[in-house]
């Protein structure tokens, strides 16, 4: 897995190994043991995987999550703690407490700031948050802002990566990329797409490349009207994803 790097450093930027998978968070290791095991399989083009214990780090250390995170770290996979920003409504102190718990209990390599605000007025507070989280780890943390859509361009300077699309295939296949993203390399952007039929998998990968997203997660699972998280289980075509975007696959 030559494209994997240690936390806080950039991905390799060659055309052959630029694209990889970002896992937005599987179910608890006891519920989804197969999913967690697959992430440590040699040759899987993983950029990072999100650990979400209980809508964050939980109230106390979970030995099963600690074991799962440890296996990923030992396999060279970057583990990110999931922190909910509730679109800017979450108090700063709670966010920092969550981050410290993830570091103390699970030794994460960075953070996935879910439901991150997107507007210009929230930029200064998000910058304060990311600066504080970086300081907690001596600038070694890999930070991903989970906007789910294109935010105000200034956010690109506040984290390692931005999630500029998160949603169903029916929206993704007709989506347009914001012009300002062309000023940044693909390594700065991530797309999370659910409900992708197997017959459209190649097209979804092609769209991600065209739109300049180096990190993707594609799944045939759907949210079924918001009743379940489509990202909590393994895609039915996981092996195909690995083969299509793994090392040696050209753009």
DSSP symbols for 189-247: EEEEEES--GGGHHHHHHHHHHTT-SEEEE-S---TTTTS-TTSS--TTHHHHHHHHST
Question: What is this structure's pTM?
Answer: 0.91
Decide: 150 and 175 in contact? Cβ < 8 Å. no
Which parts of the chain are beta strand (E)?
20-23, 46-51, 79-84, 110-114, 142-146, 161-168, 189-194, 215-218
The torsion of the CA quartet 26, 32, 37, 39, rounded to 10 degrees, works out to -20
Q: What pLDDT digit, counting tens, does each position of 130-158 carry?
A: 999 999 999 999 999 999 999 999 999 99
Distances (CA, A) of 209 to 18, 173, 239: 10, 13, 19
Confidence check: pLDDT of 250 > 90: no
Long-range residue pairs from 70-75, CB within 8 A, at least 24 positions apart, any chain: 70/107, 71/36, 71/40, 72/36, 72/39, 72/40, 73/107, 73/109, 74/40, 75/39, 75/40, 75/42
Q: Could you tell me the residue ranges of all domains in the chain?
A: 20-245
DSSP state of 148: S
Confidence check: pLDDT of 15 > 60: no
pLDDT at 245: 87
Band (pLDDT 50/70/90 cuts) for residue 5 is very low
pLDDT, averaged across the chain: 90
Confidence check: pLDDT of 86 > 90: yes
The torsion of the CA quartet 198, 202, 206, 212, rounded to 10 degrees, works out to 60
The residues facing 51 across adjacent strands are 81
Confidence check: pLDDT of 228 > 90: no
Q: What pLDDT digit, counting tens, does each position of 147-193 carry?
A: 999 999 999 999 999 999 999 999 999 999 999 999 999 999 999 99
What would the two tokens of residue 212 be? 């300049």
Q: Which of 110, 115, 155 lies closest to 134, judged by CA?
A: 110
Mean pLDDT within 205-233: 90
How large a percentage of the chain has pLDDT more than 70?
90
Q: Which of 195, 188, 190, 186 lies closest to 224, judged by CA?
A: 195
Confidence check: pLDDT of 240 > 50: yes
Q: Class of the 20-245 domain?
A: alpha beta
Mean pLDDT within 87-94: 97
What is the C-alpha separation between 41 and 131, in angstroms, rounded?
Answer: 33
Mean pLDDT within 8-36: 74
Q: Is 60 exposed, middle or buried (0-12, 13-18, 19+ CB in 10 A)?
A: exposed
Confidence check: pLDDT of 109 > 70: yes
What would the two tokens of residue 31 be? 């519920």
* Residues contacting 167, CB < 8 A, separation 6+: 148, 192, 193, 194
């Amino acid at each position: 897995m030559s494209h994997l790097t240690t936390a806080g450093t950039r991905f390799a930027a060659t055309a052959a190994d630029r694209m990889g998978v970002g896992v937005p968070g599987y179910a608890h290791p006891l519920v989804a043991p197969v999913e967690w095991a697959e992430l440590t399989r040699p040759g899987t083009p993983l950029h990072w995987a999100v650990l979400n214990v209980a809508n964050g780090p939980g109230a106390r250390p979970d030995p099963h999550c600690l074991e799962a995170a440890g296996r990923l770290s030992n396999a060279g996979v970057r583990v990110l703690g999931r922190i909910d920003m509730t679109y800017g409504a979450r108090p700063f102190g709670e966010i920092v407490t969550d981050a410290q718990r993830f570091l103390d209990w699970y030794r994460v390599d960075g953070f996935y700031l879910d439901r991150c605000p997107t507007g210009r007025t929230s930029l200064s507070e998000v910058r304060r948050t990311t600066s504080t989280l970086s300081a907690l780890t001596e600038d070694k943390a890999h930070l991903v802002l989970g906007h789910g859509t294109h935010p105000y361009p200034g956010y690109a300077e506040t984290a390692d990566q931005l999630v500029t699309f998160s949603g169903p295939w029916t929206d993704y296949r007709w989506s347009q990329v914001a012009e300002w993203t062309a000023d940044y390399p693909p390594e700065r952007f991530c797309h999370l797409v659910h409900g992708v039929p197997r017959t459209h998998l190649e097209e979804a990968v092609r769209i991600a490349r065209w739109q300049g997203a180096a990190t993707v997660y594609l799944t045939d699972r759907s949210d079924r009207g918001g009743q379940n998280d489509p990202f909590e289980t393994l895609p039915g075509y996981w092996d195909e994803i690995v083969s299509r975007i793994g090392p040696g696959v050209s753009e």
